[in-house]
Amino acid sequence: MAGGSDRKRSAASAFGAHADAYRDSTVHREGDDLDRLAAWCSGADRAVDVATGAGHTAGALAAAGVDRVIAADAAPEMVATAAASFPRVEGVVADAERLPFADDAVDAAACRIAAHHFPDPVAFVAAVARVVKPGGTFAFEDNVAPEDPALDEFLNTVERRRDPTHVRSHTVADWIGWLEDAGFTVETTTVVTKTLDYTEWLGNVDASAERRRGVAAAFADPPTGAAEAFSITRGADGVESFANMKLLARATR
């Protein structure tokens, strides 16, 4: 468990240092997926956005009509950025796996493109299930890995080389199983594909030259099927873009 705690502290520090980059990131600040998550929670009186990052999802929840929105994140800088960027949002520093709220405290919870950084996804889902009221909604989104083991390993390798705080992108089956085991009923699932600009993707975490070389080496020797599975495009200077898959799931407790 100590290793998990160290990883959490490292992740909070790393993300806090890049709060402004995440606030301005195209992938994080806009998209049909963001609108969908907010719509799923629109009937709530009180909602928490877990691992809010720069607060885009929390802001979308407030814009969708949720009366009280709490932006929770382990990085104080992220919480401050979220609260400053979205005035109707409250901020709280919190561990996603140990949420500091009473049982049945919220009508809805959201978590968008963050869970691949969590050391214990089962504990995270259990924490959300504890704080969401019976009948409440959990709107979830995260990067997911292909079922093919070689493609799974490729994706997680390039993600870790880019960003050491990346723990793992899990499969769709993993997430559905964990949600159901925690007592959620999975009402809706959709897998969407997002195209990422390679340079922006590296820049979001200010990847060092060494890490960039490691990522480039992985892309230079991908497993069979990776070019098609991840829609990798290349130009004269190397990779220009690639795509990853994201699971959107609406679950009720």
Position 31 scores a pLDDT of: 81
Pick the CATH number of 2-146+165-195+245-252 from 3.40.50.150, 3.20.20.70, 3.40.50.12140, 3.40.109.10: 3.40.50.150
* Predicted pLDDT at 206: 85
pTM of the model as a whole: 0.87
For tokens 């199983």, the residue is: 177
List, for the chain, all residue ranges whose pLDDT scores fall below the cut of 50.
Answer: 1-2, 10, 12, 16
pLDDT recorded at residue 16: 47
> Residue 58 and residue 89: Cα distance in Å, rounded?
7
